[in-house]
Structure 1
Amino acid sequence: MSKNISNSAIIGIGHPLFDLIVSNVDEKFLQRYQLESDNVILANDDDDDDIHHTLTDDLLKYFENIQYVPGGSVQNTIRVAQWFFDQPKICTIFGCIGNDDFGRQMKEKIENIDNVQSIYCIDNEKPTGKCICLINIDSGGHHHRSLITFWDACHKFRMEILQQNLSILNDAKIIYTSGFFLVSNPECVQLLAELCQKSIDIKFAFNLSGSYVVKNYSQRLLKIFPYIDLLFGNITETFSFARTLDWIQNENNDKIDDIVEKMVHLESTKTNRIVIITQGPGEIIVGTTRNSIQRFSVPSIPFDEINDTNGSGDAFVGGFLAYYLIGRSINDCIDAGIYAAQQVIRCCGCTLPKVNKLRLLSK
């Protein structure tokens, strides 16, 4: 049981995408758009001659079995966190969408199905960002995915939206953003970090997001690092961070505990930073300023139950934040995160089952 919680207790600020998932796409269709199975690419939004710009129209024209799911790393996490509560609008997402049907559909799904409050700024020039997932099945029955992302309106987020909603932000308990958003909106992330620093009641949660963020935007990351209360990342990003700061020269698993310990104690304005590092199906490593390094094993699940690993990391963070919000132990937060991740990987895209065995019910 959980006590009644105020609206917008967990706020995420990121890049909302609308995921379009299409099954049974043949190789000929992939070749037409110079796409490959089991590959991920980023479309060139600024090139009108980019061959991928007609992809969405052709999907709508030739396929009827399109699944539409709200996506984007931070938005996935916020949706999953809300999934743990029977009380609506505990979680809120900020982002930018286009003035189009996809944006309207996503907002409707976020609010009416996921019960998340959305505060989107609208861009009238760029369309809503999309991630298109094309699934093809080979002769052996194995599923392969080709992913292509169109950022479009995502990168048009405006600082004024945060400034207009400072009362909501100041009442939050957790504010969560990511390295992806830091790349496109460093001033917004700095504002959020400083806002959290001014209040002992608001935790600033941050996700490293990708090795290229750590490597190419290290100065931006180090600038906001002192404000971070909760840091999430995976093992690859962690090693990249350590190399960037010259803590190590090469990846060495024997050094990971030392790296996490250094991340915990790296310049901080806070008294109890928590660093959570995932390793896929491997152990989760947690470091805090008050305890030594802890390791948590991840229960295995049958291989044939794994449908799609995309979004599992986002889901883990969502489960962790939901339980952290109500003051549960690190062990319970980790368990909730693992449960969420293992539910999502059984689905296609970051879709959420109706049943949540760890749901937190209001008194």
Structure 2
Amino acid sequence: MSQDLRGALVGFCNPLLDISAVVDDDLLKQYNLKANDAILAAPEHVPLFQTLIDSYDAKFLPGGAGQNTLRGAQLLLPADSAVFMGAVGNDENAKRLQGAAAKAGLRTNYMVNAEKPTGTCALLITGPNRSMVANLSAAETYKFEHTKKPESWEVIEKAQVYYITGFFFTVSPDTIEAVAKHSLENNKTFTMNISAPFVPPVYKELVQKTMPYIDILFGNETEAASLAEAFGLDTTDIKVIAKKVADMPKNGSKPRMVVFTQGDKNTVVASGDSDSVRVYDVVPVPKEEIGDTNGAGDAFVAAFLAQHLQDKNVDLCVEAGHWLGGQVVRQIGPNYPEGELKFVQSGSFAPVYEKI
């Protein structure tokens, strides 16, 4: 890839203002929530957002998985490398999101819906777990017409790598399809994240339709298990799941890479052109240093893509992902440390190869 990285990374997702709080298991039970999950808010969840504000020490943080990832990537890349697209309202929360993006040097190209408020996401922290409940609001009104605008499509044409979260299947599958096809036709790199366990079963047809275009697929262990069940892969072994997904039919000449993280356990990488799966150990963060785990997965992808854009090998991409994820879990919420972020490779980081 060219090292002129201006506008090289473009991402799509639902920009949300996070309302984060440490809660107890009783609140999860009250709203029928799981300790480590991500769901869309149903009517019964609407009071939850105000409950966090009124009864807990809630923090307001710039969020949305894709925007978190693009912010982190931009912090590790040369100026003006990353651009984020999504829909927001015409309100103070949108200004907060744009301000956080600008602070990281991330360029935004928002579609603004003046009739709906900016989306929010409740983040319920219980120990090392986090349960996410998203009220998309303006975010779910993103229109393909915004993607097709000359000023938006020009951004897409300049990019080298695309990153779209599975959450965007709920909003604009037409955008996903158009960007995927453009990437294939121009020999660029199209990447996606499963993002949440509900995505593979609820949007199975769209996932199947999109999979042939995906050059790099990210996910965690629960999302991988959901994908395996939805696609009838008949295994619970995450290494086998990764390899089977890597081997699914693929458009173009690039082999698909599948990257599955497992928190403080190992990370698995499979590729369609290898019979072996790479398994990378994670150096655990001491428990006393953990703020919460929210945003660690987004940070992993951020650092992985930042290294990938700079033509680094897979080992370095994963090592950088582990490093930045470790930095973020030391914070409260999906925040990056203050000051300059600079990844320094260890020189001793290597996977174990397991034949599948």
The one-letter amino acid of 2:262's match is: Q
Bigger Cα displacement from structure 2, 264-273 vs 33-42? 33-42
After superposition, residues 206-245 of structure 1 pair within 5 angstroms as: 206-245=192-231
Change in CA separation of 1:225 and 1:145 when aligned onto 2, cut-off 3 Å:
closer
1:259 equivalent in alignment to 2:241:
yes
User: Following TM superposition, by how much is the alpha carbon of 1:240 offset from its aligned partner in structure 2, in angstroms?
Assistant: 2.4
Change in CA separation of 1:125 and 1:262 when aligned onto 2, cut-off 3 Å:
same
The one-letter amino acid of 1:170's match is: E
Change in CA separation of 1:22 and 1:213 when aligned onto 2, cut-off 3 Å:
closer
1:177 equivalent in alignment to 2:169:
no
Residues of 2 paired with 1:244 and 1:132: CA distance? 27
User: Following TM superposition, by how much is the alpha carbon of 1:316 offset from its aligned partner in structure 2, in angstroms?
Assistant: 0.5
User: Following TM superposition, by how much is the alpha carbon of 1:81 offset from its aligned partner in structure 2, in angstroms?
Assistant: 0.7
User: Following TM superposition, by how much is the alpha carbon of 1:301 offset from its aligned partner in structure 2, in angstroms?
Assistant: 1.7
After superposition, residues 65-214 of structure 1 pair within 5 angstroms as: 67-85=59-77, 87-111=78-102, 113-133=103-123, 148-164=133-149, 165-200=152-187, 202-214=188-200
The one-letter amino acid of 1:9's match is: A
Alignment check: 8 A CA contact 2:9 2:161 kept: yes
After superposition, residues 41-52 of structure 1 pair within 5 angstroms as: 42-44=40-42, 52=47
The one-letter amino acid of 2:267's match is: I
User: Following TM superposition, by how much is the alpha carbon of 1:212 offset from its aligned partner in structure 2, in angstroms?
Assistant: 1.5
Bigger Cα displacement from structure 2, 145-154 vs 172-181? 145-154
Residues of 1 paired with 2:294 and 2:96: CA distance? 22
Q: Using the aligned pairs only, state the percent identity.
A: 30
Q: Which runs of 5+ in 1 are unaligned?
A: 137-141
The 3-state SS of whatever aligns with 1:52 is helix
Change in CA separation of 1:293 and 1:197 when aligned onto 2, cut-off 3 Å:
same
The one-letter amino acid of 2:119's match is: G
1:282 equivalent in alignment to 2:265:
yes
The one-letter amino acid of 1:74's match is: G
Aligned partner of 1:5 in structure 2 is 4
Bigger relative CO (Cα 8 Å, ≥ 6 apart): 1
Over 6 Å off, 4+ runs: 25-28, 33-37, 142-146
Q: Which runs of 5+ in 2 are unaligned?
A: 346-356
Aligned partner of 2:349 in structure 1 is none
Residues of 2 paired with 1:5 and 1:93: CA distance? 18
For these two proteins, the number of residue pairs brought into alignment is 338
Residues of 2 paired with 1:3 and 1:225: CA distance? 26
The one-letter amino acid of 1:154's match is: A
Alignment check: 8 A CA contact 1:134 1:147 kept: yes
The one-letter amino acid of 2:66's match is: V
Residues of 2 paired with 1:268 and 1:236: CA distance? 24
The 3-state SS of whatever aligns with 2:7 is coil
Alignment check: 8 A CA contact 2:140 2:170 kept: no
1:55 equivalent in alignment to 2:40:
no
1:208-252 C-alpha deviation (Å, 9 max, x unpaired):
11222111211110101110111111222223222222220x52x
- Normalised by the length of structure 2, the TM-score is 0.84
Change in CA separation of 1:144 and 1:185 when aligned onto 2, cut-off 3 Å:
closer
The one-letter amino acid of 2:191's match is: A
Which of 273, 294, 298 aligns to 1:314? It is 298
Change in CA separation of 1:342 and 1:258 when aligned onto 2, cut-off 3 Å:
same
The one-letter amino acid of 1:156's match is: T
Larger gyration radius, structure 1 or structure 2: 1
User: Following TM superposition, by how much is the alpha carbon of 1:74 offset from its aligned partner in structure 2, in angstroms?
Assistant: 0.8
Residues of 2 paired with 1:297 and 1:92: CA distance? 32
